Amino acid sequence: MKLQQAWGMAAIICLAMAAAEARAETSGQQLAESAGRPLVGTLAPRLVLKTIDGQTIDLGRLYGKQAVYLKFWATWCVPCREQMPHFEHTYETAGPDLAVIAINSGFNDSLDEVRSYREKLGITMPIVLDDGQAGAAFNLRVTPQHIVIGRDGRIQYVGHLADARLDAALLAARTSAVPGGSDPSLTLVTPAAISTYKVGDRLPEQSALTLDGQPFRLRDAGGSRHTILVFLSPWCESYLATTRPVLSANCRRMREQVSALSGERRARWLGIASGLWVTPEDLRDYQTKYHVRIPLSLDESGALFRAFNVTQVPTVLVADGSGHILRRIEGGDLRTASALRMAINAP
């Protein structure tokens, strides 16, 4: 009887896990398709990419000659690992009419981690560690995120799953004709350089919209209080608990320290959540689950993360009353409970 109960419980757990995975796949595909709607049918951006081996890939020179398949991924991403055999097979069988490029999102990943991952999985295709420009150009919202560009230089497909839709898009991209034999790269717009702010610079004169619809000015209008910008991801503590336990613990410590200090009167706070794998509903759930009291803003496009060159969470920026950035605190720096308090109380 006990054995039957155990088997029954195991079956229930398996069904629950399968249902959760199905929901994640559906959500991922929906996020990718939503990100792709304004892109599909448009001329692809002309980017120059650098591989982790030092090679240069000029996408503008490929358009009009080859179809291009870009896949955004991350080493900590479970579906990315599951889809890697399909991706590698596509590269190995691509032929001269299809360029296949792996673009690591650059989020919570380092060059050493990417190289180690490549060696462990036996990846042979070109790998790019994104500096944020490619993610911005292609509306990166999930990992993996597939971008298929036809030989005519136009984006034909954006998706999340390695399924029949992706295979059909790859086939169509390779057979699409270039109208009139023209070179579409001549009409492409090169994305503008990203302006970034570092320690010593002043916060930009702009506002972020919080979850409750209120604008939050990055510079204190009164000029008397510190501004604390907390860059976070709602899934860091839970999703990375087993695959990246140190990073997960850093995110938990950051949240606990912010919770303990957010009542400081000389500081104003804003939590800025990455838009990768996050919807407003996800951020509200995070706010409710952990009783987060500081205002939260969803950086859906990633503009604020790029502006402050934030590539990992947690990252905290502390600015004085005039808006000058005094300190940048990342990950392991938060292991000391006094780290954030000292930054807030700095003159």
- What pLDDT tens digit does each residue of the chain (347 aa) get? 544 544 444 443 333 333 344 445 558 999 999 999 999 999 999 999 999 999 999 999 999 899 999 999 999 999 999 999 999 999 999 999 999 999 999 999 999 999 999 999 999 999 999 999 999 999 999 999 999 999 999 999 999 999 999 999 999 999 876 654 444 444 455 556 678 999 999 999 999 999 999 999 999 988 889 999 999 999 999 999 988 999 999 999 999 999 999 887 789 999 999 999 999 999 999 999 999 999 999 999 999 999 999 999 999 999 999 999 999 999 877 766 566 777 777 66
Q: How far apart are CA 169 and CA 73, in angstroms?
A: 19
Burial class (CB in 10 A: 0-12, 13-18, 19+), 326: middle
User: What fold is seen in the domain 207-344?
Assistant: Glutaredoxin (3.40.30)
pLDDT at position 179: 55
Domain segments of the chain as ranges: 27-187, 207-344
The residue among 197, 222, 217 whose CA lies nearest residue 295 is 217
Quick one: CATH architecture of 27-187? 3-Layer(aba) Sandwich (3.40)
Do domains 27-187 and 207-344 share one topology? The answer is: yes
pLDDT at position 331: 82
Neighbours of 321 (CB within 10 A): 15
**Single-letter code of the amino acid located at 144:** P
Whole-structure pTM value: 0.87
pLDDT at position 185: 44
pLDDT at position 189: 52
pLDDT at position 280: 96
